[in-house]
Amino acid sequence: QVKLPCRRNYVQWTNSSRVLDRWTDHEVLKDWIRERIALFQPDRVHICDGTEKEFQDLITLQIHLGSMIQLNPELRPNSYVVRSDKEDVARLEHKTFICSDSAAEAGPTNNWQDPLDTTNRMNTLFENSMRGRTMYVIPFCMGPLDSDMSYIGVQITDSPYVVTSMKIMTRMGLAVLQKLGTDGDFVPCIHSVGHPLVRGQVDSPWPSNPQKQVVHFPEQRRIWSFGSGYGGNALLGKKCFALRIASAIAREEGWLAEHMLIVGVTNPKGVKKYFAAAFPSACGKTNLSMMAPEIDGWKIECVGDDIAWMRINKKDGRLYAINPEAGFFGVAPGTSYKTNPNAMEGIKKNTIFTNVAITPEGDVWWEGMSKEKPDRLVTWLRTQMTKGDIEDAAHPNARFCAPASQCPVIDPNWENPEGVPISGIIFGGRRSQTVPLVYQARDWQHGTFIGSIMNSETTAAAAGIRGVLRPDPFAMYPFCGYNMADYFSHWLNFASLAPDEKLLPKIFHVNWFKKKSNKFVWPGFGQNIRVLKWIFERTDIENPADGSVVKTPIGYVPTPESIDTSGLDITTEDMKYLLQVDTREWRTEVDIYREFQSKFSKEKFPKRLVHELDLLAKEVAAP
Ligand code: GTP
Ligand code: SPV
Ligand code: MN
């Protein structure tokens, strides 16, 4: 039945009686799949068609394997919990590599390895790595199927958890094979949990391998990931493709692939504008993108919560953005009906939860979900706890994975093949000190500088210590697929792609996380609309120096009166604190930025950003 050049003769086709040839006439794709089968030696091969039946079959399989638990269908229909291995809970930045031809092309912010050595090493790791397992082939499209801005990938994986997650996070299956045709381009993505099974061996509920690594070849546009099953390491369409590989493609083709949410904001007069915002991992993108605004008359609609692909539209010369994803892979802890009601509504059904706690009723729980803790629960580490001693019930990077279409405030244009026009770009970070609630850049170059000097306190989204300040320019430090000096130049030069710089979005910076006595001063969440309102109105003003702003060394900061705080319980003193620019603190900042800039080669690093830093240093210098 199977005419594949495999060493083993019992490759079965469980998905369909048809063989590879009947699935596609794409010879390059078929050759690639055949080579992978020969290397990985899976017991079965399954080409994913993307149907609901296939999804349900794979869910049933995971339940049977003991790796997935079905939640109470009356409380949370078609929803499941998966608990990972203790060592496999977040992105692994020190095991993520950019294998460009030279180390200089990867740049000082990436881990580089020689592409040839790495290919050889990965070939050895992957040899026979799928023995005893099914190899799934997932054709997927990043972006709406009918968009010129979309790109196709094909992921091979031996994890049914990955397949069901990819079904939620991307457009996948037969429709993508059709779009690919006989010679369409695709990014080949390979993933194995690296845990082959011998006959009779009982599988682990979360198979993985200690030799975890996530490897990117930007020139060849391919991705290899081994050993980890966690989201960012295993759902290769997301950070690996849509950011690391796509950023390299975008640089070549003159567009932008960014770690940004996309949100539609409508004012009480009915005027609507879209904004894109880059905050580092676990710093508030999902929350801002679907926020329930706390001032009357304003409306928020969500286009995307994590990644934006943006290019200049030839028709009107403005910057347009699409969300390449089809689902949300969001941080669960802290998500509640108080902080993010739209996320809570959007995960009521058809959701896969990872590393959350389970209540006796068969529902989920995590820290911050409700004021009252449940009487009893089973933690993500599978231990029983009772009310008094409930602690670390969910992992701080526990996630929900839900279709975007279920979000009650999903934007009517979220799948528009042309994307949505962007009026403002907002940078932000987690800064307990120094950085004001909001400020505006003077122009595109200054805005690029503001993106380039972002620093943020580390979170649970990546393995390692939390709460340490580190550079995260454009929230892209872990995701830029090439030298960040070139990335900055790309941003600077991008202005010349617009027919007129005036058509480009205005650039802002926000910080929801400023602290006093170890407590957040700004209420955040739905109250962030007050800052969005100021930003919204600022985008109508052609010259940022006009209007009620204070010109400061870092840019234009709102006067305290120009932020609408009506009905908000916040003191004038706190507002002053949130908006202050303390030159002494900024002198320390300047030192941090200098140190960061010094990591790059002088020839590569854009002079315009050195100039901006010199300017800032001069303005904040001690009198
Ligand atoms: P990734 O998916 O990792 O890229 O993260 P994200 O940027 O989408 O972060 P998300 O919105 O999931 O927020 C992460 C954490 O920050 C959650 O625990 C939120 O509850 C918390 N958070 C979000 N917005 C705010 C805010 O305005 N104020 C405060 N204090 N916390 C917030
Ligand atoms: C992030 O870490 O920025 C995420 C989650 O959005 S992951 O998919 O793991 O990258
Ligand atoms: Mn992210």
| Closest residue by CA, ligand 2 atom 4 | 281
User: Is 462 close to ligand 1, i.e. is its CB under 6 Å away?
Assistant: no
Indicate if ligand 1 lies below 6 Å from the C-beta of 306: yes
Q: Residue 554 has which token pair?
A: 């870092």
280 CA: nearest ligand 1 atom: 7
What are the pLDDT digits (tens) for 51-67?
999 999 999 999 999 99
Measured by CA distance, the residue closest to atom 19 of ligand 1 is 334
132-163 pLDDT, tens digit per residue, is 999 999 999 999 999 999 999 999 999 999 99
Ligand 1 pocket, residue 282 CB under 6 Å: yes
Predicted confidence band of residue 555 (pLDDT cuts 50, 70, 90): very high
Higher pLDDT, residue 482 or 10: 482
Mean confidence (pLDDT) of the chain: 95
Query: From ligand 2's centre to the CA of 360, what distance in Å?
Result: 29
Residues, Cβ < 5 Å to ion ligand 3: 281, 306
| N-to-C CA span, the chain | 83
Pick the ligand that lies closest to the CA of residue 90.
2
Can you tell me which atom of ligand 1 is nearest the CA of 287?
11
Extended strands (E) in 444-568: 455-457, 469-471, 506-510, 515-516, 519-520, 549-552, 555-558
Q: How confident is the model at residue 19 (pLDDT cuts 50, 70, 90)?
A: low
Q: Tell me the average pLDDT across 570-582.
A: 97
From 91, 165, 286, 342, mutation site for ligand 1 pocket: most ligand atoms within 8 A of C-beta: 286
Instruction: Answer yes or no: 141 catalytic.
Output: no
Distance between CA 593 and CA 611 in Å, rounded? 12
Distance of CA 228 to the CA centre of its chain: 17
Bridge partners (DSSP) listed for residue 378: 358, 384
Average confidence (pLDDT) over 36-59? 93
Backbone angles phi, psi at 154, to 5 degrees: -130, 120
Q: CA angle, corner 483, sides to 479 and 484, nearest 5?
A: 65
3-state secondary structure 305-320: CCCEEEEECCCCCCEE
Q: Are 501 and 443 in contact (CB under 8 A)?
A: yes
- Residue 180 CA from chain centroid, whole number: 25
Q: Which atom of ligand 1 is nearest to the CA of 279?
A: 7
- Closest ligand 2 atom to residue 462 Cα is 2
The string of pLDDT tens digits covering residues 161-183 is 999 999 999 999 999 999 999 99
Check residue 211 and give its pLDDT.
Answer: 98
Strand ranges (E), 356-429: 357-358, 364-365, 376-378, 384-386, 399-403, 420-428
Q: Tokens for 477?
A: 């430090």
- For residues 241 and 150, the answer to whether their CB atoms sit within 8 Å is no
Cβ of 342 below 6 Å from ligand 1: no
> Which residues 6+ apart lie within 8 Å of 50 measured at CB?
167, 171, 172, 173, 174, 175, 176
148 CA distance to ligand 3 middle (Å): 24
Question: What number is the ipTM of this complex?
Answer: 0.99
Q: Please tell me the residue having the least CA distance from ligand 1 atom 17.
A: 334
pLDDT value at 13 more than 50: no
Confidence of residue 5 (pLDDT cuts 50, 70, 90): very low
Check whether 589 has a pLDDT greater than 60: yes
Q: Which of 48, 141, 189, 283 is catalytic?
A: 283
Nearest CA among 339, 331, 359, 96 for reference residue 215: 96
